[in-house]
Amino acid sequence: MTDQTAPTTGHVVILGAGHAGGTAAALLRQYGFAGPITLVGEEPIPPYQRPPLSKAWLKGEADAESLALKPLEFYAEHDIDFRPGVRAVQLKRSDRTVVLSDGSTLSYDILILATGARAIALPIPGADLPGVMFLRTAADAEQLKAAVGPGKTLAVVGGGYIGLEVAASGRALGAEVVVLERESRLLARVACPELSDFFRGYHEKHGVRFELGCSVVGFEGEGHVTGVKLASGQVVPCDAVVVGVGAHPNDELASDAGLETARGVVVDLDARTSDPAVFAIGDVAHRPMPIYDRMFRMESVPNALEQAKQAACAITGRPRPPGECPWQWSDQYDLKLQIAGYAFDADGIVVRGDPASGKFAVFHLKGDQVQAVEAINAPPEFMMGKQLILNRKPVDKAKLADVTISMKEVAA
């Protein structure tokens, strides 16, 4: 991929008005980009934060306005042509045009793909029954909020972040909640067994029921879902269902246009694709992570922000931002889970603090280098862990496990 000094005028088209797309538009202006910017989004509202959809939104503490990254007026005021309710249907790289779902065509000099990911649907009978919901958009959240309350039973398919956050919010709203998980433990893809056990215990203490290691084979009901059928034959009665089993990158536009994809649009450290005029950022991008010497796709707000920065810097000729340690967070009840790094080839763990206290961290090490840390209500472990992951400083495992020694001392 060639190093190109891009024009500071010329038309930038951003496909996707989520967290990555919205941030890229704002950063381009902040960095002094003077050319026209068009921001295309399929949702009817301006870019907003998704994390609160499973928490504050469901509890009535947030709405589209309070979650908007910028107020609607921001876009016109900053000469950003925001086009809501429209999708890109075809990308023609040879003449640098995009065909939109309303029949119009956009020409670009630079294109940023920020089309995100869509919730994976289970291809099983009853999946399109009313009451079987996903949680990806504000519209989904509004629908879910209406379905949850005292006297209602909510079945959550998937024991990942979405599932567990919805479970916590459901309980806060007085609903009965049952979580159905395919693996033998929760958060199987993203957390260690120690953490899985901790979360299960905490949720059970708050009255959430779990069916682990089960297979969902269908949804039952006439005109509305009334139960979830498991492979065992058991039917779990419910009034509503949330399916949170992962997301699939919306990379079809790119692959159809001949861009390199690998379950996500392949990009370099400037978020540039195999076409120097096209960038890809956020949930849709398959990107390099130098500290792990591998490529992968991350679904997190920090990733969307970092990649928006990478693209905006590359387009405006600014130096590439320094590489960050990937991180994410999840809020359930009064637990703040903060995760830094990925334990790809960790060969050992150190638990710091007592899980029973609700305040502890699990460090994943490769030899004596921290690769990842999962911290529960333990900001120093999280913040210091991020630094240790980035600078790869060896740590003394005994000191790391000793809560009487501060994290700053451990990392010194």
The span from the CA of 390 to the CA of 370, in Å, is 9
CA distance 310 to 219: 43
Of the two residues 292 and 329, which places its CB atom closer to other proteins in the complex?
329
HEC letters along 184-205: CCCCCCCCCHHHHHHHHHHHHH
Q: How far is the CB of 379 from other proteins (least distance, A)?
A: 4
How many residues of this chain interact with other proteins, rule: CB under 8 A? 25
Q: Does 68 bind other proteins (CB under 8 A)?
A: yes
Cα–Cα distance measured from residue 221 to residue 126, given in angstroms and rounded to the nearest whole number: 8
357 binds other proteins (CB under 8 A): no
What residues are paired with 156 via a beta bridge?
179, 242
**Residue 74 or residue 108: which is nearer to other proteins going by CB?**
74
Of the pair 206, 336, the CB lying nearest other proteins is at 336
**226, 235 contact by CB (below 8 A):** no
| Distances from the Cα of 284 to the Cα of 120, 128, 183, 319, 320, angstroms | 14, 25, 25, 23, 20
Residue 51 binding other proteins, by CB under 8 A: yes
Q: Does 383 bind other proteins (CB under 8 A)?
A: yes
Q: Any contact of residue 393 with other proteins (CB under 8 A)? A: no
Strand partners, 327: 340
- Give the residue, chosen from 4, 93, 380, 402, that forms a contact with other proteins under the rule CB under 8 A: 380
Among 30, 104, 105, 234, binds other proteins (CB under 8 A): 30
Segment contacting other proteins (CB under 8 A): 171-179, 224-232, 251-259, 378-386? 378-386
Which CB sits closer to other proteins, 136 or 229?
A: 136
Span interacting with other proteins, options 63-71, 124-132, 287-295, 366-374, rule CB under 8 A: 63-71
Contact 113, 255 (CB under 8 A): no
179-208 residues in contact with other proteins (CB under 8 A) are: none
User: Residue 131 or residue 353: which is nearer to other proteins going by CB?
Assistant: 353
Amino acid at 224: H
DSSP 253-290: HHHHTT--BSSSEE--TTSB-SSTTEEE-GGGEEEEEG
Element (H, E) at 294: strand 294-296
Tokens of 262: 């690998």
Q: Which is nearer to other proteins, 126 or 353 (CB)?
A: 353
Q: What's the closest the beta carbon of residue 391 comes to other proteins, in angstroms? A: 14
Rule CB under 8 A: is residue 352 a binding residue for other proteins? Answer: no
Residues that bind other proteins (CB under 8 A): 26, 30, 49, 51-52, 66, 68-71, 74, 78, 301-302, 305, 329, 331, 336, 338, 377-380, 383-384
